[in-house]
Structure 1
């Protein structure tokens, strides 16, 4: 990892820590969801509690990936410091990598309350042997959503990014089975969800943390969405660069 990437990561983390409400918000919603929904309805069932814990971990991570990343990138574009950085010969990669690494750090912090609540108040089967792969899976499962956050951030103003990222995220989370069990949804919703990136991310997480067999269609859809959203993020960056710096 280059020294420039580390420098950007350190700068962005310090920026996050100076306004800690963002860190609190990323952990608050999944933790409250654990207390309100998982403990009363699935806390005594080891299999259901383990799967629900994976869903809540993913929910917090994806919220940071889409909402927080889109807002911070769009706000950066409105600051006078950002045009200067983009004139430097280092190119966009160190700052992109720093942004992704700092987002991953925030995601890691957001899952801590969920894991603690699951260990203390539920019968979830969480061991180092399952949590390690689950955290690694969290990175892969969050990738398309981080790219989606970058896309929104480069396409929109900060005010628009706040609204659009939330409008996009919550339906994806619900239809992907992260807030409600897939089995509780109507049959046609269950079929539609297989083609959403959130369902593919959920399948990966449930496989890693609970040992369930992932849905092949959902995994293929996740890979396809990752490629498409990556292309959109690159296009949005180049479009922004062409409009603002040409």
Structure 2
């Protein structure tokens, strides 16, 4: 037998194959896709467009579009990872997948790829509505920079979702994610601009990954100075949530085999 036959498919091929089937499985549930793609854009239509003082101001409108784009990515990451993992853990199919001769890294990368793709697609309706119905503006280069910043700031949300998925059952994860989603969105300044916050709430807001993601994307799109607490906070949330996700993954794996 040749060496190629013994080694089997590469990690990249397994990742792409697994991501393809995960994406197909996701889009087979229309409500899940519609909610991810439509809800942030509808929030922009109902809560930003009617406020002409915001919608007709290029700076305010651009920041409102960015805030709801961050919200779209956050919701997709929390639900896509948290509920997907919690649901799969409750089915006999998941332990079977772990017995297959494929690295677990391929499954994790595939989930990130499929969920990340859906998250970026969810941003497109927000940008389209913002461009058509508000005075939001940005150059193509700045929009690309904004997408890169969104991808970076989504990492903590993905890891938090993974931690929730491995720590809780599907029903509990559903409730926790809904509470966390709206709490982070409000405190992080995604629904109301931080300029309207009292001083104490503004200080608390700076410790949340939602506020840090918002400020990072605004900096990428509009330029200016990036506050030190933004990138320090993103790195800290990434490190802590990664460590927590690994601990919970190993604990869950131990429970299944002992």
- The alignment's TM-score, normalised by the length of structure 2, stands at 0.92
Q: Does the CA-based 8 Å contact 1:203-1:219 persist in structure 2?
A: no
Q: Deviations over 1:75-127 (max 9, x none)?
A: 11112211011112322100000000011111011111111101111111133
Q: Does the 8 A contact of 2:37 with 2:122 survive in 1?
A: yes
Kindly state the Cα deviation for residue 202 of structure 1 after the two structures are TM-superposed: 1.0
Matched, 1:14 2:28: no
Contact 1:73 1:154 in 2 (8 A): yes
Write the distance in 1 (CA, Å) between the matches of 2:224 and 2:84.
35
Task: Give CA deviations for 1:131-182 in whole Å, capped at 9, x if unaligned.
Answer: 1111111110110000000111111111111001111121111111111100
Q: Give the Cα separation in 1 of the matches to 2:189 and 2:225.
A: 15
Matches within 5 A, 1:156-235: 156-235=168-247
The equivalent position to 2:117 in structure 1, one of 105, 118, 128, is 105
Is 2:129 aligned against 1:117? yes
Unaligned runs of 5+ in 2: 1-10
Q: Larger C-alpha radius of gyration, 1 or 2?
A: 2
Unpaired runs of at least 5, structure 1:
none
| RMSD over aligned Cα atoms | 1.2
CA distance in 1, matches of 2:203, 2:212: 12
Candidates 44, 59, 67, aligned match of 1:55: 67
TM-score, normalisation: structure 1: 0.96
Aligned partner of 1:90 among 79, 88, 102:
102
